[in-house]
Amino acid sequence: MSSFKNKIVLITGGAEGIGLLMGQKALKKDARHLIIWDINEQKLTSTVEKLNAQGFSVSGHKVDVSNAAEVEACAKEVLSTFPIVDILINNAGIIVGKAFHEHTFEDIDRTVGVNQLAPMYVTKAFLPAMMEKNSGHIITITSAAGLTPNPGMVPYASSKWGAIGWAESLRLEVQRNHPNIQFTNVMPSYIGTKMFTGVTPPRLMPILDPDLFTDKIIRSIEKNKTTLKSPWLVKLTTFVRGNLPSSWYDFVADKVFNVYASMDTFKGKDND
């Protein structure tokens, strides 16, 4: 069982959305200090000030987590103050949400950089200290989009497929010699935050309530769950896709559950 009590917690993309909710809940479970990394300096400053005013111990760093040099430099700064980050939550993510041919090269680079490379960069910076102590917990917020194809989010889905493969492979590799380092891979469908404004949820897969879903994440961390897939139909995706011919799976996903039309109404938000 993992506990937040007296732990140092770092969350990327933690100034708003589910990142902020997870940070608040970690603090309410008596985390000793919360470190927020975010690229939006204005929201970061405001969030840190509000949490500190509530009596919590919180610090913030403006970091572009897709930039390896920035991650390395800021991690060194963090580790000069705290010998270890006990609980690391790779949460930062972006989506463009339009047809692939309409993406710019910058859109593609940014999506892959934030969603796939950033968890690698951030984890690499903090993992050695965890390995030295054989202690720590790494949580990566990936996506159900990493389990199934979906039009309208081609680079996003690709980046999440990569993130899932990385997270699961890293868990196996690290736990060979460091069994006390825990990993949790979180694979949700659409969450009701500004990031997915306008989406039409697939049939029988309601949009996840951010507050209730982050409660699930916190409980999964405490229970050392390896994976969290939500809602329940996400748990069937890998099995169904692995056992049906592609044309059958496409029919079920498209015509039965309307997965492939879910992004047709997407509006989203400006990714800061």
Q: Average per-residue pLDDT in the chain?
A: 96
- Residue 190 annotated to the active site: no
Contacts of 163 (CB under 8 A, 6+ apart): 115, 116, 119, 140, 142, 143, 146
Phi, psi of 230 (to 5 degrees): -155, 145
Say if residue 270's pLDDT is above 60.
Answer: no
In this structure, are residues 227 and 187 in contact, taking their beta carbons and an 8 Å threshold? yes
Given 121, 156, 190, 249, which residue is catalytic? Answer: 156
The alpha carbon of residue 147 and the mean position of all alpha carbons in its chain are separated, in whole angstroms, by: 15
pTM for the whole structure = 0.96
Could you give the CA distance from residue 172 to residue 198 in angstroms, rounded to a whole number? 37
Spans of all domains in the chain: 8-261
Burial call 17-41: b when 16+ CB within 10 Å, e when fewer: bbbbbbbbbbbeeebebbbbbbbee
pLDDT tens string 180-225: 999 999 999 999 999 999 999 999 999 999 999 999 999 999 999 9
- When pLDDT is averaged across residues 36-60 and rounded to a whole number, the result is 98
pLDDT tens string 144-160: 999 999 999 999 999 99
The CATH code belonging to domain 8-261 is 3.40.50.720
